Structure 1
Amino acid sequence: MTLLDEVIEQASDGDAASMLRKLMIVAHRLGADPLLAWVKAELNGYDDLNDIPDYRGPFTVNVQAVITGPGLSKGTSTLTKHGMPDGFDGLFELRFKDPLATLEGFAGSEDGIAVPWDPAIIGLYNGWIDEGRVPFIEYWGVYSAQKVFPQGALKGIVDVVRTKALELALDLQAQYPDAGEKDGPTVDNPDVRATVTTIVNNIYGPVTGLAQGHNVTQRVRVKAGDLGGALASARRFLDDRGLEQLRAVLVDDGDGEDKRSRVGKFIDAVKTGSVTLAAGVTTDLAAAGLLEVTTQFFGW
């Protein structure tokens, strides 16, 4: 049984963390850094909420509150964001950067997750009540409040990761059955690289981050077949001569195999410095960014 077989088996019915650890080995042996980064983030948690995939949020959630009124009366209510000032939608949203195993554990509980509002936020909301901004029972206020995320929705996040891992393993296995095995194929093969890039795009959606150093992130969004958009996105990586070289890669005729071959040769030329880049751009950053541009342009 290959590693991909084991990933497929556990993605269907097994321990999610164990599935991801096996997928980590596959990604490492492929030399697929973006894929490896996703697997590690799912295992260890995401460092930054801005880096999480769409399936981890933001989710609009209910806010359940304990409310108080005259004569020390108490009750419960569901709060609304109707009438709130702009910029406070996050009070009714949740995003999750926790390890997948943590979310899977909460998904097995009966109550799901409840995240309390900070007391300062409760005071702010009560101020909006006093100002008449938000509809509320007269002479009543909020004593405590919490965002509520149900058990079923948590299971949904875990199932999305399982499904993406399953699709990934099946796609790789269909084209490269020995992917992930010792001495198996790597992303040095342009076809393998294109396949893995397509998989990563499917995980994160059409917008992907390209890191330069530790703190700078550039983002690429290109619609399939949009030559002008592709060249505009590529301008951050290439000078005028390099853009003409890229244009030739994008518009030349040929079938899918010809196109993948042209892209692979072009990216290799970028890595070796044969393609002239924009000022201040490293070859690694340009190669990663232009691979995103070309694969999105061709719809891979």
Structure 2
Amino acid sequence: MSILREIQAAVMSDGAELSTILLKTMFLASRLGSEPLEDWVKYETEGYPREVDVPQYRIIEVSYKGTWSGPFGRSIQNAPIPPLVIQQYAGVAWTQYQVRESIAGVEEMAGKQPGTLGINASNLILLLQGKVYDDDWICNAVVGQLSAVAMKEIKQVVRSRILELTIELEKRVPEAVKLTLTKAIPQKPERKAAVTQVFNQTVYGNFTHVTASEGAQITLSITAGDVGSMASALVKAGLPQAAAKEFSEIVAAEPPESAEKPLGKKALAWVKKNAPKAASGAWKIGSSILTDVATEAALKYYGLKA
């Protein structure tokens, strides 16, 4: 049986462990030459480092309760704290927890009893003094709780993404079905690009966020090798229709030098020529972010970035 078929059978089996399925998927990714897919499987298996962004499905809500003591010996026990209050005084990161643990750790947390999963929220005690109740009420404790159900949902999402990935690979990279433990298939650039494109679409959804120095945020959704999707994404980012089409055609006709320098000479010349238009306010995108958006668009188009 091929590795791809083994993965599909294991995903649909009630008894197969997700960690074992991921190991098989890592072997498949390695033989198909897709580094983004390999990295994803590695992070799911070993955990996500601090410098790596977690996928959206690994960001879950945190609920908080606090205990206060007040005048005349009065107290408030385990009172829910509104998320908006936490966000206002501590930041959104406190209400949107990034689950960086390995899938084995996620599975262990998913089996915990309700109310037993928590995070260290002691720093919030000082931040919330006088913010939830009057100043004469003292915050003594804050407890942040995670949902075991949310952990189960992460497991289910990973399983479903792996199944969807193998189904799409079967359709768009049919040679992948021939791969076994003892039988390899030649690695070709076009096949690697196709596998990476399938991975981007099924696991991450092809979304890239660009943040400029002034804080503006732009989301690019581009399918690798699709000029139309690149032009459409650039229009949404603020480029005029004609400019987006022109730049997309340049990128499509000009191969990248490398992942570090995806813009070729013609593309760089285009950015330099049009930067004054962006700076003048004629376009809905600032000159300071034009180069970043152009670079990200090229990386996505060439399949060099998830």
TM-score, normalised with respect to structure 1: 0.68
Q: Secondary structure at the match of 1:126?
A: coil
Asked if 1:201 is matched to 2:198, the reply is: no
Asked if 1:92 is matched to 2:86, the reply is: no
Shift of 1:3: 1.2
Q: How many residues align?
A: 248
> Could you say which residue in structure 2 is the equivalent of 1:227?
231
Shift of 1:145: 1.5
Q: In the alignment, is the contact (CA less than 8 A) between 1:185 and 1:192 conserved in 2?
A: no
Structure 2: runs of 5+ lacking an equivalent: 211-217, 223-227, 238-244, 269-293
Whole-angstrom CA distance in 2 between matches of 1:82 and 1:276: 46
1 or 2 for the larger relative contact order (CA 8 Å, sep ≥6)? 1
| Cα deviations by residue, 1:110-158 (Å, 9 ceiling, x for unpaired) | 135211213x321110142xxxxx3x37843322222212111110011
Within the candidate set 127, 144, 148, 2:145 is matched to 148
- CA pair 294-32 structure 1, distance change in 2 beyond 3 A: closer
Shift of 1:287: 11
Shift of 1:48: 2.3
Whole-angstrom CA distance in 2 between matches of 1:287 and 1:26: 30
> Could you say which residue in structure 2 is the equivalent of 1:10?
10
1:23 counterpart letter in structure 2 = T
Q: Secondary structure at the match of 2:68?
A: strand
> Could you say which residue in structure 2 is the equivalent of 1:162?
159
> Could you say which residue in structure 2 is the equivalent of 1:215?
none
Shift of 1:17: 0.5
Q: In the alignment, is the contact (CA less than 8 A) between 1:30 and 1:180 conserved in 2?
A: no
Within the candidate set 53, 56, 67, 1:54 is matched to 56
Whole-angstrom CA distance in 1 between matches of 2:81 and 2:45: 34
Deviates more, 1:86-95 or 1:167-176: 86-95
Identity %: 23
Q: Secondary structure at the match of 1:117?
A: coil
> Could you say which residue in structure 2 is the equivalent of 1:26?
28
- CA pair 140-87 structure 1, distance change in 2 beyond 3 A: closer
Q: In the alignment, is the contact (CA less than 8 A) between 1:172 and 1:179 conserved in 2?
A: no
Asked if 1:292 is matched to 2:296, the reply is: no
Whole-angstrom CA distance in 2 between matches of 1:123 and 1:229: 44
1:11 counterpart letter in structure 2 = V
Q: In the alignment, is the contact (CA less than 8 A) between 2:129 and 2:135 conserved in 1?
A: no
Q: In the alignment, is the contact (CA less than 8 A) between 1:55 and 1:160 conserved in 2?
A: yes
Deviates more, 1:43-52 or 1:176-185: 176-185
Whole-angstrom CA distance in 2 between matches of 1:288 and 1:151: 36
Shift of 1:42: 0.4
Whole-angstrom CA distance in 1 between matches of 2:230 and 2:204: 20
Whole-angstrom CA distance in 1 between matches of 2:8 and 2:113: 28
Deviates more, 1:75-84 or 1:157-166: 75-84
Shift of 1:206: 2.8
> Could you say which residue in structure 2 is the equivalent of 1:240?
none
